[in-house]
Structure 1
């Protein structure tokens, strides 16, 4: 995290994800008079959007997925809630809850609900071993460490190309290995000093510190490596979070192993069902409200001692 924090908003409950679980959590938390922040993407719930028909959502038969998605969004809008088009790259413990990081912007919240959906991200070999030791997921955060040095950007989305341009203002040399589809990259012009190398990354190279990237047909050397994807692995998003090979580990109250952090929907594992996601979103919101109310009561008791 950077030394200078640009703190723009404070919430009672921050919800990461704007699919059915996240939106269900948002409206339930708002009904309970909590200040809610919803962090999503430019297009909420593409999985639901692409469903040709939904027949098993109670009370709303014979609807297309997008019709139901539009109803969810309209409900949220009617509640006066807005979705921030912000990718959260880190959630860290703070004095009064948690700090959420989105590039160089930080948000304060008393509790968190993770509703990030199914995570299909598969780290390349040795990626997690070198995270924080030359490998980073945030160019804005760690870019200044590589002033005058050589860096590699593994770009899996449009944001990766934008971050490469940012790094070109700092680093001496920038190499981009892009996995971005041509349509998604349209309109982005890379800085002249950036060198693009085709190939598929398969591993991070290094000893005590990362020294480069192995592609299928060659090896690239650099002082730092930035990996920019659409989403961050849950246990990297929230350090210390208990995650199994099925998803984020929760109890019946949708609570994780970290007090104040809850999870709901597909990110908690099977079954990947709409009703389950919406139901867990409600449970997570009500339990987050209960958690906040208990904190408030404890503070009052301490104040009267």
Structure 2
């Protein structure tokens, strides 16, 4: 896949998520001299920000959640690391590791750490059944497939409104069903060609292919449906990832069932504790570094054997 795409940047380790687990992983990976890419939102760890006080983080008592959050971010900045606010919508195996897709940009990484926190996303009825069959999470990626057709955008954030504007330049008709609060939509001017309909989406309609969206009080028909949220379910973010009702399944080394992909923090399940998140972030980073070093050593041995075979 990577050979066919224009890669924006390459990393040794890409970290998806910038909460305590992701930042701890980034720091420990950087200390081991690996090139780190951190992908997160424009406001890292709102959960920690809203905590009125933190009493159980060893050595740092009587801090507010935001005070501790600011210390985490300052540590990351001191390490020379930057947070990329492009949302990752897919992680796919490719030559040399993995390709991370973020709208119309692609990044390459030899190893990936998932640290997306607790996922509160609840897919609407039959959403996952029709994913890839008329339902998409990325308008920039799949919008061109619906040139001259009718599409529905289910927007749960500002990005959803922006994606609706993008689709208005391609599709014959764009129907927007927005769940975005007015204050969060400030400053965005919707294309006059977009038709807005009020309502709460409850399910996807279809047979072999999706045909529309069911709202609480009506049904809407369309050729394509775009669902734009802040986060993507882990097993949709990484196809083939083992996920239980507790979270992403990992071993004691924070390794998932996919070699080269690790997970840390609340996304791996309870307990949802700050120390557990930062500890797993460190373990995931050390495991990723070990994984990369083993790959490097294996490649050296194979090269040496090949060289001896030529003599």
Corresponding position of 2:132: 132
Indicate conservation of the 8 Å contact 2:260/2:291, yes or no: yes
Q: In 1, Cα distance between the equivalents of 2:37 and 2:111?
A: 11
Question: What residue in structure 2 maps to residue 7 of structure 1?
Answer: 7
Q: 1:140 to 1:48 in 2, by over 3 A?
A: same
1:290 — aligned with what?
290
Which structure 1 residue ranges, 5 or more long, are not aligned? none
Q: Distance in 1 between matches of 2:238 and 2:171?
A: 28
- 1:156-187 C-alpha deviation (Å, 9 max, x unpaired): 00000000000000000000000000000111
| Structure 1 residues 98 and 2: CA distance shift in structure 2, 3 A | closer
Partner of 1:45: 45
Cα separation, 1, equivalents of 2:230 and 2:195? 22
Mapped to 2, the partners of 1:48 and 1:83 lie a distance apart of 17
- Is the aligned partner of 1:278 residue 2:288? no
Distance (Å, rounded) in 2 between the aligned partners of 1:4 and 1:226:
25
Distance in 1 between the 2:111 and 2:221 partners? 41
Note if contact 2:2-2:108 (Cα within 8 Å) is conserved in structure 1: no
Q: 1:25 to 1:181 in 2, by over 3 A?
A: same
Q: Which stretches of structure 1, 4 residues or more, deviate above 3 A after TM superposition?
A: 1-4
- What secondary structure is seen at the aligned counterpart in 1 of 2:276? helix
SS for the counterpart of 1:75 is helix
SS in 2 for 1:300: helix
Q: Which residue of 1 is the match for residue 186 of structure 2?
A: 186
Instruction: Tell me the residue number matched to 1:201.
Output: 201
Q: Normalising to structure 1: TM-score of the pair?
A: 0.99
- Which ranges in structure 2 are unaligned for 5 or more consecutive residues? 306-311
Give the drift of 1:58: 0.3
Partner of residue 300, structure 1: 300
Distance 1:293 1:2, change over 3 A: closer
Counterpart in 1 of 2:249?
249
Indicate if the aligned counterparts of 2:2 and 2:94 stay in contact, CA closer than 8 A: no
| TM-score, length basis structure 2 | 0.97
Q: CA, structure 1 residues 106+266, in 2 after alignment: closer, same or farther (shift >3 Å)?
A: same
Are 1:97 and 1:260, in contact at CA under 8 Å, matched by a contact in 2? yes
| Alignment root-mean-square deviation, CA | 1.1
Q: Which residue of 2 aligns with 1:115?
A: 115
